[in-house]
Structure 1
Amino acid sequence: MKRLLSTAFAYMILGLVSGLFYREYTKATDTVGVDSQLSTLHTHFLALGMLVFLIVLALDAVLSLSGRRAFSVFYWTYNIGLLVTVAMQAVRGILTLDGQDPTSTSAAIPGIAGLGHIILTVGLVALFVALGAAVTERSRALAEGTSVPA
């Protein structure tokens, strides 16, 4: 559970730093008000990083998820997928603010971003596999009247 809290905290820091970076970068490049994906980078870190891991922390406290193999798959694939996705979002946003068209700059940018989304999806499926097993185990224990693992 401590690892989940540390992960949520790390995403909070990344979210705050990326928001600061966006504000300062647009001021430095005189692109304040220009629409780019860089403007939502902090939101992605805070919502998909910090909030998701705080929710998972609460679920882990109730359902003891962290000892399951599917949970380990979730943890690593979700983190990798999120970092790949936001890295490509940052690249695309910086290119846009620099006056370049990211889609014509390199076809790898949307491809890698898509790969990040696929990895995120694998992580979420693994989370639901772990949740399903934990809920089934907890329901069975409650029905049998045995002690419920916490």
Structure 2
Amino acid sequence: MANFLQITPFMHVADVEATTRFFADILGFDVLYRQVGYAYIEREGCGIRILEAGEGNPLLPGNRRFRYYIDVRDVDGLYAELKPKLDTLPREDVHGPADKPYGQRELLVKVPDGDLIAFGQGIFTPADAQVTPRSES
């Protein structure tokens, strides 16, 4: 019997409150769990865990620019929904939606700590792609 439920990215941030507020107010996520230094947010079944740096849990130095990828059915529809709030962000923090050579249409949004959230929709399969069907479980 399969035991896997889901994969949930863990975002390590300097300010959990600011990051949680950004995801709720700008990107439309619900805050399902909150305690000091930690939050679990979710939208349409896609969740992210947010952990605040602190004593014994420091932010690591160096390049922390991670990209969290969320597959969506309609990236243009999502963009239209979010656009009024995305327009309040610095112009360089929002890219797309744009078609990519690997067959995705993507919207990129920079979150307060500098990480990127990518919302992507499959639009075509490149001619040189090798596709393996998923196994049934």
TM range (shorter): under 0.3
> Scaled by the length of structure 2, what TM-score is found?
0.27
Q: Kindly indicate whether structure 1 or structure 2 has the higher relative contact order, using CA contacts under 8 Å at least 6 residues apart.
A: 1
> Scaled by the length of structure 1, what TM-score is found?
0.25
Greater helix share, structure number: 1
Structure number with greater Rg is: 1
Greater strand share, structure number: 2
